[in-house]
Amino acid sequence: MHAINGMSDHIHIIVSIPSHLSISSYAKRIKGSSSRFMNQMNLPHRFAWQREYGVFSLGGKQLDQAIAYVQNQKQHHAQETIIRPLELL
């Protein structure tokens, strides 16, 4: 995992996934383990992910820029400097 950050209604994660693991398998593992963790915290409401997710494939040259964007996600939303295609999925 290179970066993770979120807003109240979504998160962005930058990861490198091994070639033997499909994106859908990775998403299932991340959603399943994080849901289990959240629901063991005795929150007032049961936590659940939406069924959908968005995925973008990046090259090594874009990795640093993507990490910086995710690390500053809250500032991008506050200043309305978001990258629309990433946020509107």
| Per-residue model confidence (pLDDT) at position 69 | 84
Mean pLDDT, each 10-residue run in order, the chain (89 residues): 84 91 94 94 90 87 88 73 60
Residue 16 makes CB contacts below 8 A (sequence gap 6+) with 2
| Per-residue model confidence (pLDDT) at position 52 | 87
| Per-residue model confidence (pLDDT) at position 87 | 60
Contacts of 28-37 with CB under 8 Å at 24 or more apart are none
| Per-residue model confidence (pLDDT) at position 4 | 93
Count of domains forming the chain: 1
| Per-residue model confidence (pLDDT) at position 31 | 94
3-state secondary structure of 44: coil
In terms of residue numbers, what domain contains 28?
A: 3-87
